[in-house]
Structures are given as structure tokens and as C-alpha cells.
Amino acid sequence: MRRFKQTSHGLAVVLAALLMAAIGADSAQALPHSGWAVRGVQITPGGGSTDNDFNNNLENRAILENVAPGVTGTFGPFPPNANAVYNVSTNTPLEASNQINYSGGRFGGDQTVPGGLNNQDDYSIQGFAELNFPAGNWAVAFGRDDGGQLTFDTPIPGGITGTFSLNGPQPANGIAKNNTGGHAFTGMAFTVPAGGYTTMVDTSFFERGGGDSFEVVVAQITPGSSFFNNGGVQNNGFNPWRILGDGQYGVSVTNSVGPTVFTPNNTILPEPPGQDLGNGTGNLLNRKTFNGMVQYDLTDPEGNGAPDADIGYDASFSANDEPGFGGGEFSFNVFDNGVGGGNNKWCCNGTNNGAAPKWVAADFGVPHVIDRFTITGGNDTPGRDPQVWEIQGSNDGTTWTTIYAQSTPGVQAFIDRNEVRLFEAGTDYATPPAYRHVRYFVSETGNNNHQINELEFFSDAFNASFVLPEHYNTRMVRIAGGNGATDTQINNMTEGEMIYLAATGTGPVMANGQTYNVNIFAEDVRDRVNMGGGNGNFGGADVYPHGSNNGGNDFIVAVNTYARIPEGTYSISVASDDGRLLRLTDWFFDSVGDQGTLPGGPFSSEIRFEGTTGHNQTVGHFVVPPEGIETEIFAMFFERGGGDSFEISIAQGIQNNFNGNFVLLTDGVFGITLSNEPFAGVPEPATATMLGLVSLTLLRRRRRA
């Protein structure tokens, strides 16, 4: 049987041999190009084969290291399976790619596998590149379904400082996942000294059967980071992990096989116009500070729009294609304050091949100068991205004037999936006059379909004049070591509540038989509960009372508001990472859904989840009689460590689990009135004092003064 003989253990020499075999000696001497060199390999029955499955990483690597690119036929046997003979039916020559992001996974994975092997069984992808890392703390990881490995040729200065999700034999200067399994990440950390670090990298994955995916990502973090684990590798705005391509975080990625190719379109994509704000809901600009000013989206400055009910918006909407929220990815979904697939986006009727241009418009009721706007791309299929498109303004809804135009065919609007891009007057377009109506107008995409995720419009004059309502009194208490503390962790909701009740400021407090050191005691008044730096069901866009959207470890946040609730059946959700509670004064819950209990059984005034957890929610059901009710809503959550989030939302009817019917509980939703003070003529409930909210009452009075 034929066998490709390695001439050296060094990856640089191996890669040179592979290049020579795949594209010839002259081409192999070409100057490096940005990106990776990749190939696809598949084994199938036939040709006298005795083994037709990729069962582990060692078996896959034996084939990759002994069969040159572009060569097919029967090979083996070779270790680790001394009796196996393999029929290599597909084995592509090395080709260039600007990234490794194939077949699904957490980063979109829309690349075509070399040889068109997407969604097939018993195949492998192998990628080579020369990497140059600047000085700093680094982590790299590969995502795979099933297994794989990533190896550096040059010893890492100081060695590998941390790893996650490994198993089986490990290569020198690298990491491996030997067995089969669903999509997950395997990673390692290392430190690069001054002067940088250059190495060849050889990475691969194998697919036994079922789903398939392969991604290689990079981050500037250390093993102590909450993101340094399989679950921490996510594709969203606040997360540090990014696809490892040339220039990412200043890392150079080069190969010697040809210009970078962005599959499946096989074109080099220039940097799109505008500014990249990151990916996902957490990077939308509404209610964020930009250039020293809080930005309020003209369509929904409060961020309380309820798309399924089409309420809570400060604009009315129209479109010439699929008007409406929800539906089958209808057009108004671009105003739903969410980024993702399905009904988070507008998709997929096309504009090409003679089809009429598509547009969706917002009517603000009064004219505004559009000083900046954001547009967010879809979650999949880059070919659907707009290429020729405009933002237009009108004062009569009939005659439209171009505010911004992207008019060059072939220029994609985005480089990543779910990417939020910002455009500014004075930089990307001339400052326009004020317009009452603004619309997005698209006439050409990369294929016969079209999609975008979100639109936001901002006016500096409106930003300066808009004041958010104040309905929730909010307090944060965080503990740490020092000041004689005998306990530095909050491990359950009961412990958190006791600390909260005892704290009146920073410094040591006695609670639960222990001494705790309160190092943060912060209060504010806000219009909604949606905290957590991009986490949660609603994106967690708001900061905690101490001014950051990352609360840290071992803290509690409590809120209270006074509510007038009209007749109806309701489901209220308190969501958090970790535990939580929510109480109604002088009213009760009939039942509970999702994660949690009614501590007092049916007709309890409290819903609760006691322990630690990732983001989840407790849903309480209650019925309001025809005359309505007035009640105080008090809620609290605690965070032990890792990610954190806190949300309060509500839906009509009995909802046993969180779903798209829930909207953030803000003033006016479903006819509910909220106030941060008791309603006139109604005594302040005793729970306000019992639950430690006296200083919150004083806070709101100071703010009015």
C-alpha cells in the first residue's frame, strides 16, 4: 500500500513537503499570503479498505501525516491501527482560506469545506499557517464536532500555562480532543514575551457522523478568566474570542499557497464601510454611552418595545415587503431590539435578477436629524448581505432623499455574522436636514436573497433632551475579603438576602452568623430591570448601580417598584445568573413555571430559586380581578461567580416557560402603571422597611429635590 513518508518531525518541513506535493516546487517558493492553507480528506468503503470510519484523533492524524494533499487511493496500514487499510476517496490540494470557520458551530460556520464535504461522514479538515503573536497573554482554541488537535511547531516561550477540554494523548506544544462528541471547544493559554513569537501551526478535526463543525479562535485572556473554558467561547460582543484570521488582535496569519479566498464566494472582502461595534444584541447602541453622550434609538428610546404585541415603540413602521413583526422573518423585526436568527431578523425575499428593491421605514411623528445609525447583519449566509443599499429621509413619506448610500456592487456590508456597524454624519455621510420619515432601501445583495437583523437611528438633539423615566429603586451590595471577614462568598439566595438586609453601607456587617465585608454599596433609580453586559433573554444592556455591566463575583442586586395592574391573567418572569426571588405585596401567585418554587405553596406571595445556576428564570402566574390591583413588586438576585444577569419581564396569559410573549416590565406595558413611590392615598407597604429599602426611599426624594 502507498504511504506518504514524512521527512521531518518539524511542521515547517512537513508543510513545505505538502506544498511541494500539492502545488509544485515553484509555487511553493511563492511569497506568503494572508490566511490559512487548508485541505479536505474523506475515507469511504472500497479499494480493499478494512476500516471506513474516523473513530478518534490518532487515527485521523495517522492518515493526514502519511497521505499527501491531492492524492487519493488505498493507504496503510500504519500506527495506531496496525491492521487498518483506508480508501481515501477525497483529498483536495491545499487551498487558501482567510479563516477556519466551517459547517455551523458558534461562529456561524458558513464556509464550504474543501471538496464540498459539508454535512458528510468520516471526513477531516487540516489547516496550516505561520502565526506571529505580539507580546501579551494569549489563548487559542479549536471548536470541533467530533475531535481534533492544534499543534505549534516552535516551543512556546514559558510553555502552555493552561488548558481546557482535553482528553487522550496530547501532542507536544499543542492540545487534542481524541474522541467523538458534539460541538465543543478545546483550548490552551500561553504568554508571549517582548519581541513576539512566531510558529507554524497545524490544526485538524475529524467528523465520524452526524453534525460537523470546525472553528479556530483566539483571545487575549489568561486561564483565570471566566471565558477560559468551553462554555466561555461564544460569539457575542462582550466575549473576547474571535475567529483567528490575519490581523485579528494584531496576530499575523500567513500561508504560501495563494491569495486569501473567502469561501463560498471566492472573493477577497474589503473592510466594509462604517465602524464595527461587535456582534450580537449586546453591541446594539441604544442606551449606551458613545462620544460622551447616551444614545437613544428614535424608534424605541426606552428599549421597551414589545414586537409580538407591536406596542411600546416611539415610531410607526411600514414596508413594501413582509410588513409586520414576527411572522416568517418579517421586515419590522429590524426594530425588535434583538439580534439572531429566526424572527430576530428580516429575511429572505431577494432584490436581484429584476426583483423590485425592498424597503422598510420608520415614521417618528416629528422631524429629527439622523446624526448616526447602526445596521446589523444576519446570523448566517453572507451572500444575503446587502451590497447596494441606502438610508433615505422624507418629510411626507412619498419623496425620498438619500442620507447615506453604499452603491458599489460586490462590497459586502459586514465581515462577521450578527455584526453591528455604525455610520456617523460628518464621517460616513454629510449631516442631513431633519426628516420625519427614515427608511432602509436595498436593491442588490450577494445572491438572490436578502437579510439584515437590526436598524437603529440616533439624533444628538434628541439624545440631549430625552430623560428616561424612573420606576425601579435599585440597590447593589457586593462583598469581598478584608475588614475581618469570615465569609467571602454568597452561595444561596437566603444568605444573599441576609447580607442585603444587614448592609447599610460599605464596611463589615454581621449576618447569618458570619462577618462579611461590603466593598460596594450603590443605589440608583431606573426604568427597567435588564442588567448584565449582554447576557440574558433581553441582552442585559444596562449597567449595575455601581456603573459597570460586569458586576464581578459575590454581589446582590435588589429592586422595588409600585404597580397598578389591570384585570387579566399574567406570567411574570424574574431571570438571573445565579439565584433569585420576586414578591408581590398583598397579592399571590397561583403557580410557578420554569426554574423555581412557591415557598409557601399555592397562594404564596413569593417565587424563588435558591441556588446557583447559569442564566435561567422563575415564572410566576397570577390573576387580577376586574377592579385591578395595586401592589409593590420586590425582586432580588445574587451572583456567586462567572456570568451575571438580572431581568424582570411579563407576559399575558399562563406561560409555563419563558418564550417570545414576554416583554420587559416597564411603565405602560399591557396597561400596567409603574412608580418608584407608593401611589397617592395608598400607605407605603411595610415590606419596604422590612426589606431594607428605607434608604432607597430617601434616594428618590433626594433625586427629586
What per-residue confidence (pLDDT) applies to 146? 92
Tell me what pLDDT residue 256 has: 66
Cis amide bond preceding 357, omega within 30: no
The answer to whether the CB of 606 falls within 8 A of the CB of 583 is: yes
DSSP conformational letter for 336: S
| CB atoms near residue 432 (< 10 Å) | 19
pLDDT of residue 560: 97
Mean pLDDT of 91-119: 86
Least confident of 316-330, 353-367, 378-392, 404-418: 404-418
Give the pLDDT of residue 693: 43
pLDDT value at residue 606: 97
**Number of Cβ within a 10 Å radius of residue 164:** 20
C-alpha closest to that of 574 among 557, 562, 587, 586: 557
The grid cell for 272 is 466594509
Place of cell 494569549: 138
User: With pLDDT > 90 as the criterion, what percentage of the chain qualifies?
Assistant: 59
Confidence class for position 681, pLDDT limits 50, 70, 90: low
Give the Cβ contact number of residue 325 at 10 Å: 21
Task: Name the CA dihedral angle for 490, 492, 493, 494, rounded to a multiple of 10 degrees.
Answer: -90
pLDDT of 26: 36
| 301 pLDDT above the threshold of 90 | yes
pLDDT grade for 487, boundaries at 50, 70 and 90: very high
**pLDDT for the residue 80:** 74
**Contact indicator for 100, 150 with CB cutoff of 8 Å:** no
Residue 179's pLDDT band (cuts 50, 70, 90): very high
Distance between CA atoms of residues 480 and 616, nearest Å: 25
pLDDT of residue 11: 45
| Residue 226 per-residue DSSP state | T
For residues 224-252, average pLDDT? 84
Over residues 326-381, the pLDDT tens digits come to 888 999 999 998 898 899 999 998 887 678 899 999 999 999 999 999 999 998 88
Other beta carbons within 10 angstroms of residue 31's beta carbon come to 6
Cα separation, 551 vs 553, whole angstroms? 7
In 3D, which of 290, 673, 288, 281 has the Cα closest to residue 471?
673
**Cβ(70)–Cβ(21) under 8 Å?**
yes
Instruction: For residue range 46-100, list pLDDT tens digits in order.
Output: 888 888 899 899 999 989 988 888 888 888 877 777 678 899 999 999 888 889 9
Determine the pLDDT at residue 651: 94
Cell (9 digits) for 476:
447593589
Q: What is the pLDDT of residue 532?
A: 84
CA separation for the pair 192, 251 (Å, rounded): 12
Q: What is the pLDDT of residue 666?
A: 92
pLDDT at 269 over 70: no
Residue 164 has pLDDT above 80, yes or no: yes
Residue 312 DSSP SS3: coil
Rounded to whole angstroms, the Cα distance separating 387 from 381 reads 14
Provide the greatest CA pair distance for the chain.
93
- Rounded CA separation 626/638 (Å): 36
Contact between 244 and 285 (Cβ < 8 Å): no
- Residue 257: pLDDT band by 50, 70, 90 thresholds? low
The number of CA neighbours under 13 Å toward the Cβ of 602 is 2
Q: Identify the pLDDT of residue 598.
A: 94
CA dist 565 and 562 (Å) reads 10
Can you give the pLDDT at residue 259?
A: 40
When pLDDT is cut at 50, 70 and 90, the band that residue 33 belongs to is: low
Other C-beta atoms within 10 Å of 252: how many?
A: 17
Are the C-beta atoms of 503 and 477 separated by less than 8 Å?
Answer: yes
pLDDT at 699: 36
**Mean local confidence (pLDDT), 528-542:** 80
| Residue 21, pLDDT above cutoff 90 | no
Predicted confidence at residue 508, as pLDDT, reads 96
605: left (phi over 0), alpha (psi -120 to 50) or beta: alpha
What integer pLDDT is reported at residue 270 of this predicted model? 55
Q: Which residue has the cell 461567580?
A: 641
Three-state SS across 601-641? CCCECEEEECCCCCCEEEEEEEEECCCCEEEEEEEEEEECC
pLDDT above 90 for 683: no
C-alpha cell belonging to residue 688 = 419596604
More confident residue, 412 or 433: 433
Task: Quote the pLDDT of residue 237.
Answer: 57
What is the C-alpha separation between 596 and 598, in angstroms, rounded? 7
Q: Which residue has the higher pLDDT, 1 or 533?
A: 533
Provide the pLDDT for residue 600: 84
Inter-residue contact 167 to 178 (CB < 8 Å):
yes
Arithmetic mean of pLDDT, 476-502: 96
User: Of 145-159, 207-221, 420-434, 673-687, which range is least confident?
Assistant: 673-687
Task: List, in order, residues 6 or more apart from 613 with CB less than 8 Å away.
Answer: 577, 578, 579, 595
CA 629 to chain centre: 39
What residues form DSSP beta bridges with 593?
619
What pLDDT, on a 0 to 100 scale, did the predictor assign at position 74?
A: 86
Tens of pLDDT, residue by residue over 563-573, are 999 999 999 99
- The predicted pLDDT at position 27 comes to 34
**Contact call for residues 649 and 575 (beta carbons, < 8 A):** yes
Rounded to two decimals, the pTM is 0.55
Which pLDDT band holds residue 192 (cuts at 50, 70, 90)? very high
Among 159-173, 233-247, 351-365, name the one with the lowest average pLDDT.
233-247
3-state secondary structure of 7: coil
CA gap 179, 55 in Å, rounded: 7
Backbone angles phi, psi at 330, to 5 degrees: -75, 170
User: Residue 437's pLDDT is what?
Assistant: 98
Question: What mean pLDDT value characterizes the chain?
Answer: 86
Q: Whose CA is closest to 207, among 128, 75, 102, 108?
A: 102
Position 609 confidence tier, pLDDT thresholds 50, 70, 90? very high
pLDDT at 460 over 80: yes
- b (16+ CB within 10 A) / e for 645-674: bbbbbbbeeebeebebebbbbbbebbebbb
271 neighbors 256 (Cβ within 8 angstroms): no
Cross-strand bridge partners of residue 147:
206
Q: Is 502 helix (H, G, I), strand (E, B) or coil?
A: helix
pLDDT tens digits for range 279-295: 888 889 998 889 889 99
CA distance 435 to 297: 15
d(CA 5, CA 453): 50
In this structure, what C-alpha cell is assigned to residue 177? 480532543
Highest mean pLDDT among 9-13, 127-131, 220-224, 305-309: 127-131
Q: What is the CA radius of gyration of the chain?
A: 28
